[in-house]
Chain A
Amino acid sequence: ETGVTQSPTHLIKTRGQQVTLRCSSQSGHNTVSWYQQALGQGPQFIFQYYREEENGRGNFPPRFSGLQFPNYSSELNVNALELDDSALYLCASSLAGSEAFFGQGTRLTVV
């Protein structure tokens, strides 16, 4: 059984650019959630996908968008990057209603 894997592990982007982060869910999991963890803070919920449909969203602007694919892997896209978008982005997968398992995260730095 493979765990949740995220790529890349680290990324540096320039303000105004766009970025795509990727996540492979744990085998058998049909739900994926994305979280943003700023330095020194707890993770903040961005959105969740269940069977390829977004079924919940936190307080993040529309320039944060996502996709879930038929194999339940997922992407997080952020447009028009701002300096405050610098954070650790965490992906979590679960079987609907069960506990979430987190990946190692992608550290995004916006300069």
Chain B
Amino acid sequence: AQSVTQLDSQVPVFEEAPVELRCNYSSSVSVYLFWYVQYPNQGLQLLLKYLSGSTLVESINGFEAEFNKSQTSFHLRKPSVHISDTAEYFCAVRAGGTSYGKLTFGQGTILTVHP
């Protein structure tokens, strides 16, 4: 079984400041890792994913996350945030190497970007 802990429930930040949203996971098997973003009254959109290979993964809108196996972490970072990044962010894990698609999500982190 897998579990995910998002260490911050809310993160307020000013526009153009850097941000880090923290995610730790627990699993007895290898995992795939994901970050999803959810805007108000909408579904989840995949932001980025780690399946294998380079431990640093990037999204098209400037976010990046680094898989750290020794610390069982997958923190999300952005060097300069915009007002439009205000949303709730979910870290998720899935058992690797299988076609079984169950995702285990964290509780979410609400990122609020202030002008």
Contacts and interface: CB of A to CB of B under 8 A. Distances in A.
Given A90-B44, A99-B34, A102-B43, A42 B101 contact: no
Name the prevailing secondary structure of the A interface residues. Answer: strand
Contacts, number: 64
B42 A99 contact: no
Given A42-B90, A102-B44, A104-B42, A97 B103 contact: no
Contacts of B98: 97
A103 B61 CA distance: 21
Contact of A55 (B42, B49, B100): B100
Interface stretch (B12-20, B52-60, B70-78, B105-113): B105-113
Given A41-B108, A42-B107, A42-B108, A94 B101 contact: yes
Given A31-B99, A99-B46, A99-B49, 17 more contacts: A33-B101, A33-B102, A42-B90, A42-B105, A42-B107, A43-B105, A45-B102, A48-B101, A48-B102, A56-B102, A90-B44, A92-B44, A96-B99, A100-B103, A102-B36, A104-B42, A105-B42
Interface of A: 4, 6, 31, 33, 35, 40-45, 48, 50, 55-56, 58, 90, 92, 94, 96-97, 99-105, 107
Nearest 8 pairs between A and B by C-beta? A42-B105, A96-B99, A97-B99, A102-B43, A102-B44, A104-B43, A105-B43, A45-B102
15 contacts: A6-B43, A42-B90, A42-B105, A43-B90, A45-B102, A56-B101, A96-B101, A97-B98, A99-B49, A100-B103, A102-B44, A102-B45, A104-B42, A104-B43, A107-B41
